[in-house]
Amino acid sequence: MPVIDRHGCFYFLPTFRTTVSQRPYRLSLMGQFIFDVDDAQQPLLTQALWPAAYLSGVEGVPWHTLSRLDGCRLTVRRDIDDSAKLFLPLPVNGHGISSLNTCSLRPRQQPYPLLLELARGSLYNVRNQSDAWARSGLQLHDEFQSLLDDATQHFLDASGTSIGWRQATHSLKALELLETASHRLSDEYSTQAIAYRKHRDTRLTTLMAAELPGNGGIPNHGDDYKSAFNSVAVRISWKDIEPQFGGGDFSATDATFDWASQQGLRVIAGPLIDFQADSLPDWVYLMEGQFHKLLDSANQYVERIVKRYKGRVQLWNPASGLNLPGRLRLSDEQVMQLASTLVQSVRRQDPQTPVIFSVDQPQGEYLAHHRDGLSPIHFADTLARCGLGLAGLGVEMRLGYSDLGMPPRSSLAIGQVLDRWATLGLPLLLHFAVPADITADPLATRACDVIAADPNDTPEARQLETASAILRVALAKPFVHAIVWEGWDDTAPHTLPHAGLWGASGARPLLRYFQRIREELLT
């Protein structure tokens, strides 16, 4: 069976000897990129999530990156003396934090003007995508064209001056206009593509669900749930079902499945095992260094779940998070063996029901700051080619979460990520979430920070704006067969902080949007 390392290099199990973390690694100064801003813009650079900056090559896979901020200078380097793109989450007026990128740059000792290069990268992204869609028949409205023309003029004005206040002012204005233009472009694409799909089929067959924790029993607000979703995603927690080795309490999970059956909702079961550190039973970590015991325990647990709920599930998702670095130190061969074994376990017990496999953080941002971990798209590609009969791939995007997710991105950028994953030739299931608050969430089982939104927006309004745009993009793409929102009720125990559609003050605006989509578009 072939496996790959984090840089996309292919190996075969009999000859693969070491893990990424065991390889010698030294970051030198050879691949150094220096970016400057004007003195007046130094506070903007401080507000940026500069520790999250990373470099990637043309293949889009981040390399392990070191970033340093010294006043008005950002230095980013990697151990490869080759061209790269800089990715940096930066505040944009009217849009909050947004992940921006430059065009491909070569390493050099002379600093680049940061804002100008980010504007150049944004202009290239928007122009390139709009030209491609226009050639495919997309009708571009005058408002978008006016925004693009104004942004282009500001970029030209900025590029004609040396670094300083004037260049920074024009670059920032170009970035603001380009972010607005990218949203307009994405909305135009979504509207026209969905209209085309509806012209062919009156109702879309896309599965749409909110995630319910398997240990939560019968969910609150069941009528509202059914009016918003045509399916239910049940996240089954190994930690809750088997807190002690050899135990097993399925009562709460049984209640969730019973409720879904009574409502006539299709069921997406899983991930059955989430390999994030806070989702595994504590006793699993005692097996570190005893891979075969871990493999046997995970395999037996998955078989028990599938036997118990076979016939009540329309889509199995055995695992997620295996591509991420975690407390379990597994070699690349062991990761691939574990993934393939879990898929085969499900297929043996239930050969008729489709099986997918989920990949977390599909852009691979974690690779920029961890020396181990697998390139997500190469991991998925290898898994898809192993002859396991996968029916699709799950991609998990949690926007606005600092540790477990990815920095906020425009809906245009999210659509481009989905298009890239579609090149693997398998249907996609999109898991996504956007927080509706930035305060502490004591009922969330995953402790992580929420990235602050635009101070001029309320968090719930930002959740609605961001999530609704991504939802439209996903519905516009025929290869996205299912969409799972990772939250339902924040007043009950849940997984992600503030991702629910219900909060302490009642239903959030995004719930009403899901209900409208369900009524107007879905079967």
Domains of the chain from N-terminus onward: 10-194 (no CATH), 201-520 (3.20.20.80)
Mean pLDDT of 179-198: 97
Contacts of 311 by beta carbon, 8 Å cutoff, 6+ apart: none
pLDDT of residue 161: 86
pLDDT of residue 15: 29
Is the pLDDT at 13 greater than 50? The verdict is: no
Confidence of residue 156 (pLDDT cuts 50, 70, 90): very high
* 271 upstream amide cis, omega within 30 of 0: yes
Give which of 223, 208, 205 is closest to 259, Cα–Cα: 223
Is the pLDDT at 22 greater than 60? The verdict is: no
Do 382 and 12 contact (CB within 8 A), yes or no? no
pLDDT of residue 184: 97
Q: Which of 224-228, 302-306, 426-430, 493-497 has the lowest mean pLDDT?
A: 493-497
Give which of 309, 380, 389, 384 is closest to 347, Cα–Cα: 389
Q: Which residues, in sequence order, are bridge partners of residue 503?
A: 506
Cα distance between residue 223 and residue 367, in whole Å: 42
Q: What is the percent of the chain with per-residue pLDDT over 90, rounded to a whole number?
A: 73
Higher per-residue confidence, 14 vs 329: 329
Higher per-residue confidence, 9 vs 129: 129
What token pair was written down for 179?
């972010």
Q: Which of 254-268, 347-361, 449-463 has the lowest mean pLDDT?
A: 449-463
Cα distance between residue 230 and residue 513, in whole Å: 14
pLDDT of residue 20: 33
Largest CA-CA distance found in the chain, in angstroms, rounded: 69
pLDDT of residue 162: 81
CA 130 to chain centre: 23
Contacts of 494 by beta carbon, 8 Å cutoff, 6+ apart: 213, 216, 443, 444, 445, 487, 488, 500
Confidence of residue 349 (pLDDT cuts 50, 70, 90): very high
pLDDT digits (tens, 9 = 90+) for 302-335: 999 999 999 999 999 999 999 998 888 889 999 9
pLDDT of residue 237: 87
Confidence of residue 453 (pLDDT cuts 50, 70, 90): low
Confidence of residue 91 (pLDDT cuts 50, 70, 90): very high
Cα distance between residue 172 and residue 442, in whole Å: 38
Q: What is the percent of the chain with per-residue pLDDT over 70, rounded to a whole number?
A: 93
Q: Which of 63-72, 78-87, 276-285, 413-422 has the lowest mean pLDDT?
A: 276-285
pLDDT of residue 227: 97
Do 467 and 453 contact (CB within 8 A), yes or no? no
What token pair was written down for 55?
């470099």
Q: Over the chain, what is the mean pLDDT?
A: 90
Give which of 319, 407, 427 is closest to 363, Cα–Cα: 407
pLDDT of residue 248: 78
| Element at 467 (helix H, strand E) | helix 459-476
End-to-end Cα spacing for the chain: 40
What token pair was written down for 254?
């049984």
Higher per-residue confidence, 9 vs 308: 308
pLDDT of residue 3: 43
pLDDT of residue 455: 67
Q: Scanning the structure block, which residue is given the tokens 């070699």? A: 331
Do 510 and 467 contact (CB within 8 A), yes or no? yes
pLDDT digits (tens, 9 = 90+) for 28-81: 456 899 999 988 899 999 899 999 999 998 878 899 999 999 999 999 998 888
Confidence of residue 115 (pLDDT cuts 50, 70, 90): very high
pLDDT of residue 2: 45
Do 186 and 410 contact (CB within 8 A), yes or no? yes
Confidence of residue 21 (pLDDT cuts 50, 70, 90): very low
What token pair was written down for 122?
């944004």
pLDDT digits (tens, 9 = 90+) for 462-495: 999 999 999 999 999 999 999 999 999 999 999 8
pLDDT of residue 58: 80
Does the predicted TM-score (pTM) go above 0.85? yes
pLDDT of residue 52: 92
Is the pLDDT at 280 greater than 60? The verdict is: yes
Higher per-residue confidence, 304 vs 449: 304
Mean pLDDT of 129-135: 97
